[in-house]
Structure 1
Amino acid sequence: MAEIIKAIIPVAGWGTRMLPITKAIEKCMLPVGKRPIIDYVVQDCLAAGIREFIFVVSEQSSQLEAYYRSNIHLNDYLRRKGKEDMLPLIAPLKANMHFVTQPSYGKYGTAVPVALASDYINTDESAVVLMGDDFMYNPDGSSEVARLIAATPAGECSILAKEVPHESISRYGAIVIDESGHFREIVEKPRPEEAPSDYANIGKYVLTKQVIDSCADIAVSPRGEYDLTDAITQFAQAGGAVKVVPAVGQHLDGGSLDGWLYANNVVCGL
């Protein structure tokens, strides 16, 4: 199997939980400290050796690409004002970038953007799949993505799992783990007394080309969405190996007001 050097990052959501600000600012571009949420995801990937990013964006997206491209006018301004020391802060992303547009009409769900990115993943490759509005925070600067990749045997898949207090598991999709430490399925928002484990799915994976391709063919869920976890479950139940990797860092979610405020407090040390 080829080295894992690609990341698929869906960022096409409208961010309705953060309206009205997300009418004008893309959800993944909301600031945590002095950086947008998405940059914590990207920097974690870069530290893990990721060199190619497939961003699945909305039809009106422009801010994400502008953030990672060079800004000649701003560069010139900083030089004229003797602020060359700030240029590293705005340097373009040193990686290959692709921007794939997800139509606002049509299929909806987490499997849809992954399927749209499949053409960028070669037959013998696996890719990291991470959502763009939450991230893992490690104060020591270590990479959660690097740990996830290192824990994933070649040619297999993996899922990052967040251990939560038992009484809180009903807020999450609880992971069913077999005796060998592999994923079997997800039970959505179970009552604590019925939860198969206290490990929650937080939407961070290493997936093979096979699973990525299968996202285009999964059936719609009872909720009316096309869920990435259904593709992973089908793979596991057909005999595929999906290792459950416990998270080390702190999971921060910028998709809601409370989560975004908390993420800022943690990152800024408040």
Structure 2
Amino acid sequence: MKQKVTKAIFPVAGLGTRFLPATKSVPKEIMTLVDRPLVQYAIDEAREAGIKEFLFVTSRGKGALEDYFDHAPQLEQELKKKGKEQLLEVLKSTNMDSGEIAYIRQHKALGLGHAVWCARRLIGNEPFAVMLPDDVIAAETSCLKQMVDAHAETGGNVVAAMEVPKEKTSSYGILDVADDMGSVVQVKGMVEKPKVEEAPSNLAVIGRYILTPSVLKNLNKMKTGAGGEIQLTDAIAQEIGGSDGVYGLRFRGQRFDCGSKAGFLQATVAFGLSRDDLKDDLRNYLHEIVSLDKAAE
């Protein structure tokens, strides 16, 4: 019987330099998308997928991220006193129980593979998820839940994949497909940021993974790859052709790259328009701007 995936690693040690000066004092992961921090979207997605243990790989200066998941008794008391039950419920959904969450320090920025490796002792010998909070995915069934369901069928390693324009393939890890079964593909190769003309497909890996413990053993070798960093893609690629194998899942949903300013703004508009309390005002405003732009032309 296949083991359930109950642990997830969140690599959040990056400096977020693309969002300076905001990230000088605020970890990028708690920058707000509408009214929830980026990391809360990832946590909610993980919970929907059945994740019970949340492992954060952090670095110096991420204290505000750790504080965010703490209980806030004074604030809760105040909301209770004022009868703000709805806000109280929202607040409770952000709390983590003792033992649910762990923080591991990555002392040197040696790449995503190294960040995942830092959590190896807390993973032990079971399959686990890796989630990059920069990738925010709007979906009816959460992306990670779709992956957990696919993993229950395929076993092995499952990566989230989406079609990208050919000219953008050099920005992603790209899958070389052995067998296309529709939503699931069997992978025969993975190339990190290939030259556009050398990309084996336009199926790109994005920041959701379900991995076997043997990927951690591959990371033990500490081999550096593209950009002189320890690449997670390389460690996963070593499992291709092995007994577990590697699969890509074309997830159903829309992914926003909130690691870029343009992606963050697009996500803000999309998530704002999906909210009943905001959509009318926001839609009217967007119509006004578009009309003014057209008039200016």
Normalising by structure 2, we get a TM-score of: 0.83
Counterpart code for 1:148 = M
Q: Counterpart in 2 of 1:121?
A: 123
- Corresponding residue number in structure 2 for 1:172: 172
Give the Cα–Cα distance (whole angstroms) in 2 for the partners of residues 65 and 15 of structure 1. 17
Q: Which residue of 2 aligns with 1:132?
A: 133
Cα deviation for residue 236 of structure 1 reads 1.5
Q: Is the 8 A contact 1:161 1:200 kept in 2?
A: yes
1:17 alignment counterpart: 18
Determine helix, strand or coil for the equivalent of 1:132: coil
**TM-fit CA distance, 1:93:** 2.9
How big is the shift at 1:171? Answer: 3.3
RMSD of the alignment, in Å? 1.9
Q: Flag the structure with larger Rg.
A: 2
Paired residue type of 2:255: H
Normalised to the residue count of structure 1, the TM-score between the two structures is: 0.91
The verdict on how the C-alpha distance between 1:171 and 1:102 changes in structure 2, with shifts beyond 3 A counting, is: closer
Range with greater deviation from structure 2 (5-14 or 183-192)? 183-192
Distance in 2 separating the partners of 1:122 and 1:211: 12
Which amino acid counterpart does residue 204 of structure 1 have in structure 2? R
For residue 112 of structure 2, what is the aligned residue in structure 1? 110
Kept in 2, the 8 Å contact 1:54–1:97? The answer is yes
Aligned length: 265
| Identity rate, percent | 34
Aligned to 2:287: none
* Partner amino acid, structure 1, of 2:143: E
Identify unmatched segments of 5+ residues in structure 2: 274-281, 283-297
Moved more, 185-194 or 158-167: 185-194
| Bigger RCO of structures 1 and 2 (CA < 8 A, at least 6 apart) | 1
Does structure 2 retain, via aligned residues, the 8 Å contact 1:107–1:226?
no
Deviation at 1:3? 1.2
Partner of 2:71: 70
Of residues 203, 209, 212, the one that matches 2:213 is 209
Amino acid of the residue matched to residue 27 of structure 1? K
Indicate if the aligned counterparts of 1:169 and 1:200 stay in contact, CA closer than 8 A. Answer: yes
Deviations 1:83-106 (A, max 9, x none): 233111111135811111111xx3
Larger helix proportion of the pair:
2
Q: What is the distance in 2 between the residues matched to 1:234 and 1:27?
A: 32
5+ residue gaps, structure 1, are none
Correspondence for 2:236 among 207, 232, 236? 232
CA distance 1:177–1:99, change in 2 (3 Å): same
Matched residue, 1:6: 7
Q: Find the aligned partners of 2:194 and 2:105 in 1 and give their Cα distance.
A: 34
Aligned-residue offset at 1:10: 0.5
Structure 1 residue 238, shift from structure 2 partner: 4.8
Equivalent residue number for residue 33 of structure 2: 32
State the alpha-carbon separation in 1 of the partners of residues 21 and 72 from structure 2.
28
Quick one: distance in 1 between partners of 2:70 and 2:251? 31
